[in-house]
Copies of this chain bind each other. A is one copy, B any other.
Amino acid sequence: MPITQSLHAVPLQVLQDKATLLRIDSVLATTEAGSGHPTSCASAADIVSVLFFSVMRFDPRNPRQSDSDVFVLSKGHAAPLLYAAWAEAGAFPREHLLTLRKIDSDLEGHPTPRLPFVDVATGSLGQGLPAGVGMAFEAKQLRHSDQRIYVLLGDGESAEGSVWEAAQWAAFHRLDNLCATIDINRLGQSQPTMLEHHLEVYQRRWEAFGWQALPVDGHDIPALLAAYARAKETRDRPTVVLARTFKGKGLGASIENAEHWHGRALDRDTANQVVSELRKQLTGGENHWEPNLPPASPASGIAAPQPAATSAKPPYQIGGKEVATRKGFGDGLAALAPADPRVVVLDGDVENSTYTEDFQKAAPYRFLEGYIAEQNMVGMAMGLAARGHVPFAATFACFLTRAYDFIRMSAISNLNIKFVGTHAGVSIGEDGPSQMGLEDLAMMCAEPNFTVLYPSDATSAWRATWLLAAHSGPSYLRAGRPASPILYGPDEPFAIGKCKVLRRSGSDRALVVAAGVTVPEALRAHEALQQHGISIRVIDLFSVQPVDREELIGSAREAGRVVVTVEDHYEHGGIGDIVLAALAGERIRAFKLAVREIPRSGKPAELLDRFGIDSKRIVETVRSALG
């Protein structure tokens, strides 16, 4: 049986047998695990067989090769199908499939990038397409590669708004190297989907969003091949294959297209019976397939040395004009544009507020306007990071809450994304609580692998931007709106994990830990307390996570184990908690100043006063603590 490598040239019987094998392997693995989603695998088995064994050009032994086509399983609960396909393709031995969901196996319940063939973790629905859009943009616009991106979604999943955010963006940018497939198996977890098998409604929606939409019988292999061939030939717009399928297809009459079979493994007897029936359908074609090696191409990722974090300097002078930390970030980012070609920037239509517009001017082709769709913005950043770029994704800190599920999944994927939230805290003033980021530190610091920096002036913001670009791993930079004094000179060194001790004496009686906009308040409090003969130590925390535990412990001990934290953030989950946790073993007395109620509009100074985080309150707290 001759095997050739171009689309359509693989004999149908090979694809049919491979699909049957994928069903068999999905059933066996989930039954062995005692849990999982075999019926969600079965509906998509023909689609995946066609994609892997005819349509896609890839090398299973080197899936991240930069010209390999990419497959994203957005419906991550069909993980056993994904694993079966890669095993069939030769990425690893088939017998490993039976380690599914075990603690010492990387074949987890939902896919994660612990596996070399997974770019982004999935399992929270509606994230694969945004990530795929980021990858398609990267391939087409940044690398001019003919790499194609295939994303498989579930039908219930397409109720997620993020899918439509991604759809509109991909069409707007005419990403014809992107091909989505929706496995329209009619059944969600608890009941039928809203649209069931109404493919004509799907078609109208996707066409209205600017896509080529191809309805097809998702178990008809020639029809699938024809659809993917048409997608490949189509220019100027992405394609979605709308595949009408049956959940549990091929697993027997009592399971196929039946409700209440979502997320249930078959018991051993049923599984044996089903597998035995499936095996009868095999014709030997499953043994015939070889990888369709792409031409040699450079390794994936952007081959560029990262700049040394000291090769440039922030332009601000101590005592000079006041500059906002968001502007320090924007300036630092613009300076990175020529220095680090890995850096790409995304914004959600607020680049004239976050100052990413400075980068946009410097490197327009590496700037992605996300418009007002923060989930897709972060999803695209996931795709860009997975392909070796260093995306900075910026918006108001409060609006990053919109994308928390994506941020959480970025953490699971350990992606090298730099999130930037500006307009933190009540100090933004008159716009009011809806625009104030007051839970962003809680949200970001919860992720255990996140680096979190919170600069207090434009110089440290500039430095933080460069530090994060050079650092590998998910990160968050918190910036403020108001112009604030320059506290550090251009040669001041900063490091992840290190704080700055701004005031220190041998007679300090309390330690005040501030960050961002409260640092100048703490310095004012220091001055006021000096006039009462009280010395305090003042720390600018700068690195919230990891935190400078050593300096905090040393300073707390030297300052009478009396600690005051002050922050423009809600009470729980911010720098107060981080500092308390670092000092948990120290038998300290601590006082946390933070925003303790829902704030309101007003002038920044009025709000710092009203919500108890200004110098006056620091002074009162220290004096009361010292009795």
Q: Which residues of A contact B (CB under 8 A)?
A: 33-36, 76, 101-103, 105, 108-110, 112, 114, 121-126, 156-157, 159-165, 168-169, 172, 188-191, 193-194, 201, 204-205, 207-210, 260, 347, 349-353, 357, 369, 371-373, 375-376, 398-399, 401-402, 404-405, 407-409, 411-412, 414, 429-435, 438-439, 442-443, 445-449, 545, 561, 570-574, 576-578, 580-581, 584-592, 595-598, 600-603, 606-607, 610
Contact = CB atoms under 8 A, between A and B. Distances in A.
A478 to B, nearest CB: 14
17 contacts: A110-B435, A121-B433, A122-B434, A126-B161, A159-B373, A161-B375, A169-B194, A188-B349, A189-B349, A204-B207, A398-B405, A401-B404, A404-B439, A448-B572, A448-B596, A573-B573, A580-B584
Given A103-B607, A161-B162, A161-B373, A449 B598 contact: yes
A601 B445 contact: no
Given A156-B372, A160-B165, A581-B580, A598 B432 contact: no
Q: Which among A159, A412, A438, A598 has the highest number of chain B CB atoms within 10 Å?
A: A159
A528 to B, nearest CB: 23
Nearest to A351: B190
Given A103-B601, A157-B372, A432 B112 contact: yes
Contact of A349 (B105, B191, B577): B191
Contact of A109 (B376, B432, B577, B597): B432
Nearest to A162: B161
A432 B110 contact: yes
A126 B36 CA distance: 35
A170 to B, nearest CB: 11
A409 B163 CA distance: 23
Given A101-B601, A123-B435, A124-B399, 4 more contacts: A103-B600, A161-B376, A448-B571, A586-B589
Contacts of A606: 103
6 interchain residue pairs of minimum CB distance: A161-B161, A123-B434, A103-B602, A439-B446, A442-B446, A109-B432
A545 B596 CA distance: 13
Contacts of A442: 442-443, 445-446, 572-573
Contact of A108 (B432, B587, B603): B432
Nearest to A376: B161
Contacts of A350: 189-190
Contacts of A433: 108, 110, 112, 121, 123, 412
A41 B109 CA distance: 50
A435 to B, nearest CB: 6
A305 to B, nearest CB: 29
Contacts of A33: 430
Contact of A448 (B352, B584, B595): B595
Nearest to A37: B431
